[in-house]
Amino acid sequence: MKAVQVVAFGRAAEVVKLNEVPDVGSPGPDEVVVAVEAAPINNSDFMIIAGRYGYLPPLPATLGIEGVGRVVARGAQVKHLKEGDRTLVPTMHPTWTERVKFKASWQRPLPDNADVRQLSMVGVNPATAYLLLTDFVKVPRDGWVIQNGANSATARAVIAIAKSLGIKTVNVVRREEVVAEVKALGADVVLLDGPDLAKRVAKETGKAPIRLALDVVGGASTLNLMTCLAPHGVVVIYSGMSGQPFTGSPLSVIFNEVSVRGFWLGHWYKTATDDAMATMYGHLVPMVASGAISAPVVGSYGLEGFSEAIAKASAFKGKVIFTPN
């Protein structure tokens, strides 16, 4: 079977190849074999290709870290999936290939009438958004969270998931042009970033205490978020899109006991229980199926179209999906 692989770390045009790889073979007693229907290109794929990610696989390595497909074979002990069922592939499992094999545990059949391309993206951006909102600070209903980079894929999911949890969002963007778009997603407040952010946030929220800030940008934007936080607030950094070191206020951390933490989905999946997985996907899958969580898709490609697919995705205008079967 075929797989899109990285054969050395470097420039995608030179190091990504479509290779013939051994078939996955028959499932073990607790395993399923799945024919991949859809698997997106994520930022982390680009970082792995470039050799600049939190973990780097031994080479050559099949790319892709999430996806969805149909069960084509199952082991005798597998109870919750049968042949023909659509299922999620475990996140961090390589998916830019025709068939994958994995141990089925928390997986359940997915709705057949949902957009399979949207479903294929539930395990990274929406999962990150869900965990950012639920794993660090217990935000009460009608409480507030603040985030920057508010038109990114994960931030869009934050807006939708926050709404589903009864949490209000302050959304910080860097360009005036995207304000209307982010408002249309259901954002409660959308503001341009800047050093006077705290003052404008206080005005928009009626000085409501905010204890959770989600930072995808870094640089001065982290400091701006931090100054909006109430005592004991937490800034959670989950990417650094600006490429700059993040900055922070000594006064906030010393006198307001604000802290800075990081979040990487890779760490979470390594230790997550089946129950935690089931709870999370139980919340997210219906939201994706209903369209409440949605990411703009700009193209779908078979594996043989990998070169064009990667070039398209690297323009960051929207998501590109592989559809191997």
* Shortest spacing between CB 50 and a copy of itself, in angstroms: 13
In the complex, the smallest distance separating the C-beta of residue 203 from a copy of itself, rounded to whole angstroms, is: 23
Residue 61, SS3 per DSSP: strand
Closest CB to a copy of itself among 222 and 323? Answer: 222
Question: Quick check: is 238 catalytic?
Answer: no
Q: Smaller CB distance to a copy of itself: residue 59 or 251?
A: 251
Distance CA 68, CA 37 (A): 6
The least distance separating a copy of itself from the CB of residue 218, rounded to whole angstroms, comes to 5
CA distances from 296 to 87, 117, 126, 252 (A): 22, 10, 13, 37
Interface residues with a copy of itself (CB under 8 A) are 54, 218, 220, 223, 237-240, 245-264, 266-267
Measured between alpha carbons, how far is 11 from 51 in angstroms, rounded to an integer? 10
- The least distance separating a copy of itself from the CB of residue 219, rounded to whole angstroms, comes to 9
In terms of CB distance, is 26 or 247 closer to a copy of itself? 247
Closest CA to 58 of 9, 131, 24: 9
Structure tokens at 256: 């307001």
50-87 burial, b if ≥16 CB within 10 A, otherwise e?
eeebeeeeeeeebbbbbbbbbbbbbbeebeebeeebbb
Contact between 183 and 196 (Cβ < 8 Å): no
Which positions are catalytic?
53
